[in-house]
């Protein structure tokens, strides 16, 4: 097994066999899962108005529906990170895709100068934009999704 916690074997298929993750990746996956569950619960309860303020006007859905659906998705994805370790690679890709999907809303918050969650200046909103790609990286690293993809890619070039 390599330092990335992923091992692939020649199995006759293009799909890599994923070895158990390292302890740091497991802790990272659990922490990300807990973060997402907390964020999802906050969408549905105490921070609902803050999340409503962040829904861009160009989204063709009712803002309350967007907040409810995104909250349920965050709870589901966070829970899956914690309780479905055997599916961690697939869940990692889904979590990364979710973070990419909500990124336009973060950009809109900057462009429309929308205050929410203490982000009351363009500088603070711009700094937040830097952290969204880091969440994508966290999802792909902690689940071994990126390493599994690279392992499968390397394996397919040998075939």
Burial class (CB in 10 A: 0-12, 13-18, 19+), 49: exposed
**pTM of model > 0.75:** yes
Question: What residue ranges do the domains of the chain occupy?
Answer: 23-145
Over the chain (159 residues), the average pLDDT of each successive run of 10 is 45 56 94 98 95 92 96 98 96 98 92 88 92 96 93 60
**What ranges make up the beta strands (E) of the chain?**
none
- Strand, helix or coil for residue 116: strand
Q: Are 96 and 136 in contact (CB under 8 A)?
A: yes
Among 105, 98, 85, 89, CA closest to 27: 85
């Amino acid at each position: 097994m390599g330092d990335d916690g992923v091992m692939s074997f020649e199995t006759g298929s293009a799909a890599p066999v994923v070895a158990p993750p390292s302890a740091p990746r497991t802790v990272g996956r659990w922490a990300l899962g807990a973060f997402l569950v907390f964020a999802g619960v906050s969408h549905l309860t105490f921070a609902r108005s803050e999340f409503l303020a962040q829904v861009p006007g160009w989204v063709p859905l009712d803002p309350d529906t967007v907040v409810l659906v995104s909250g349920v998705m965050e709870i589901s994805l966070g829970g899956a990170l914690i309780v479905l370790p055997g599916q961690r690679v697939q869940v990692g890709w889904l979590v990364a895709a979710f973070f990419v999907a909500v990124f336009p809303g973060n950009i809109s918050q900057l462009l429309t100068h929308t205050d929410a969650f203490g982000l009351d200046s363009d500088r603070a909103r711009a700094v937040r934009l830097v952290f969204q790609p880091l969440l994508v990286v966290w999802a792909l690293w902690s689940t071994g999704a990126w390493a599994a993809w690279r392992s499968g890619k390397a394996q397919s070039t040998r075939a």
